Structure 1
Amino acid sequence: MKGEPFIRFDPRTKIFLILTTVAIAMTASSIETELGLIAVIALFGVLSRRIYRVLVSCVIYLVFYLVTYKMMINGTGTAYVMLMAWGGLFSKVYPCAMMSSIVISTTGVSEFLCALTKMRVTRKLLIPLAIMLRYIPTVKEDWRYIKDAMKVRDLNKGILDRIRKPMMYVECMYVPLMMTASEATDELSIAAIARGIENPIQRTCLQDTEMKIRDVLILLLFIGYFIAGLILGG
């Protein structure tokens, strides 16, 4: 099927990979280590059949890497310090965002919930998380409808027009989105309750969430890179 991953990893593996990526990014002692982390994440993305997403993400990070490298060589003054501080924050957050983007795009909500249920996550966390994950597609749909409505009224003319008239775009796009947010969350909460999400009986899942050898291999790759980064950084 089009869009299906080349290799389907277990949702529990993906959750652990996100946590490992966060740990690597936070403990990375050099930008070269972070560049290697991007390469490892790119490999995971290619195996998950998110090649276009990986290419775009790698190009963005490569541009950031080259700009940061040039600033480290030639930069001076207060502006240099501010840009380097922002660059340090970006380099820590970007790999985590890239990994999360690949995981979310390759994993359905039901798969996530099934994996969390097998991990015996408390329902106090599971229910809000389920509603939040169900809300993300709703936000995308509302955002698309608002943009279409602005095009009909000849208001959505591009990025330059948004820079010239920022308050108009806040009023036309973000205000309606915030107004529909509360209604959407109420509807999703009611739908989740109607489907029996509060039922204390153990839920079943039609999808296979068994961990296999491919999950072990990708976990060993990320854990090995994390340990290597700690040793080389030390």
Structure 2
Amino acid sequence: MANVYVKFDPRSKLAAIICASLFLILPASFKGECLFVTLLYVGFLLNGGWKKGTIFYVFFWLLTLGDQLLFPLIDHPVAAFFDFAFVGNRRMLPTIMAAAFAVNRTTISEWIAALKKWQVPFALLIPLTVLFRFFPTIVQDFKSIRNAMKYRGIAVSTMDLFIHPLQTLEYIIVPILMSAENTSSDLSAAALVRGLGNPKQHTSIYTIQLRLQDYFLFAVLIILLVFGRTL
């Protein structure tokens, strides 16, 4: 039986990333931060990513607990260092969580379709398309290189990569850099061959439209942006 989940439009997910970035630049109150992280967690649950959401949510509260325990000992340099690390990671976590929520059950093609619907200029759309597809290709190349190394008995364990840095540079970094150049050229050519640069209106098999859940997410994000610093 297929998992049932609520589908969010890429534009509403992008709004969550923008909201998280604004909270990173203009810090919200602790209550506002907790409400925003809870909102993202509910979004994960509705969007079928409860495992990822639970990990992020538990990690947020662990960082909060660590800050609460170490703050009374802030005069001690070691406690101050770890408390700074806890607070810094807690501040960064909503942005990372929003980005993970944005890519959860949303394909690259759906993002491209949403950007086209927004009338994003082709000068920006083509580089973004190449960027979206670049990193998954690089990850796949890395996995292929690691499988080839293990087959030949080179750096079988992950620890070996750190124990022998020169070997890692020779067998992983150099091939990845060479592959990255070819991959970027191939992806750019593929985007142009598929007519992505054609100024005429494009069609898409994906239905990009705002639904009730998207409007609700927009409304809650606006409320948090307005009142998040004064809660």
Work out whether residues 29 and 230 of structure 2, in 8 Å CA contact, stay in contact via their aligned partners in 1. no
Question: Cα–Cα, structure 1 residues 110 and 173, in superposed 2: closer, same or farther, change >3 Å?
Answer: same
The residue type paired with residue 184 of structure 2 is T
State whether structure 2 residue 56 is matched by structure 1 residue 57.
yes
Aligned pairs for 1:63-82 within 5 A: 63-82=62-81
Could you say which residue in structure 1 is the equivalent of 2:97? 98
Q: Let me know the Cα RMSD of the aligned residues.
A: 2.3
Percent identity reads 24
Question: Cα–Cα, structure 1 residues 146 and 120, in superposed 2: closer, same or farther, change >3 Å?
Answer: same
Following superposition, the deviation at residue 61 of structure 1 comes to 2.7
Q: CA-to-partner distance for each residue in 1:24-83, whole Å, 9 max, x for gaps?
A: 333334445433322211111111101111122223333322223322222335555554
Question: Cα–Cα, structure 1 residues 75 and 175, in superposed 2: closer, same or farther, change >3 Å?
Answer: farther
Following superposition, the deviation at residue 89 of structure 1 comes to 3.6
Which has the higher mean CA deviation after the structures are superposed, 5-14 or 179-188? Answer: 5-14
Could you say which residue in structure 2 is the equivalent of 1:150? 149
Following superposition, the deviation at residue 142 of structure 1 comes to 0.7
The residue type paired with residue 100 of structure 1 is A
Following superposition, the deviation at residue 2 of structure 1 comes to 4.7
| Runs of at least 5 residues in structure 2 that lack an aligned partner in the other structure | none
Q: Secondary structure at the match of 1:231?
A: coil
Which has the higher mean CA deviation after the structures are superposed, 88-97 or 213-222? Answer: 88-97
The residue type paired with residue 99 of structure 1 is A
Q: TM-score, normalization: structure 1?
A: 0.87
CA distance in 2, matches of 1:63, 1:87: 9
Could you say which residue in structure 1 is the equivalent of 2:43? 44
Question: Cα–Cα, structure 1 residues 170 and 46, in superposed 2: closer, same or farther, change >3 Å?
Answer: farther
Work out whether residues 41 and 99 of structure 1, in 8 Å CA contact, stay in contact via their aligned partners in 2. yes
Aligned pairs for 1:1-234 within 5 A: 2=2, 6-232=5-231
CA distance in 2, matches of 1:138, 1:2: 27
The residue type paired with residue 190 of structure 2 is A
Which has the higher mean CA deviation after the structures are superposed, 84-93 or 7-16? Answer: 84-93
Work out whether residues 66 and 86 of structure 2, in 8 Å CA contact, stay in contact via their aligned partners in 1. no
| Runs of at least 5 residues in structure 1 that lack an aligned partner in the other structure | none
CA distance in 2, matches of 1:62, 1:166: 36
Counting matched residue pairs gives: 231
Which has the higher mean CA deviation after the structures are superposed, 40-49 or 88-97? Answer: 88-97
CA distance in 2, matches of 1:166, 1:37: 41
Q: TM-score, normalization: structure 2?
A: 0.88
